[in-house]
Amino acid sequence: MSNRHIASLLAAILLPLTATSRAGGLPQPYGVPAPVESAQREIKIGPMTRYVNVERAETVRFVTEKGSFAWNFDIDPNRQEFAFDQIAPAALQAHEVRVFVGRSAHDK
């Protein structure tokens, strides 16, 4: 089999996977925005907040001094922490806050 055939075969296999990922079929690196009304709980980000704890697959409404947004942590189980600014809209970004993602009850 030539390299050209192998490349075509790989493209045929991988293309549907990338489409599924964009459509929400696979976990995203940091999760996805969610409607505020779907939040299971609320976390306030104040001037003294340095970290927040969430569970994988949980939907949380974050409230800052500048406003609020909701986020669903449908992420890869291996991702354990990242900067809050990775998910916060630009207008709502805060000082250095880390997000720690724990396992959910469904991860057993």
Domain range annotation of the chain = 31-107
pTM of the model: 0.72
Exposed, middle or buried: residue 29 (CB in 10 Å: 0-12, 13-18, 19+)? exposed
CATH class held by domain 31-107: mainly beta
In the chain (108 residues long), the average pLDDT of successive 10-residue segments reads: 54 47 63 96 96 96 96 87 94 90 81
CA atoms of 8 and 68, how far apart (whole Å): 46
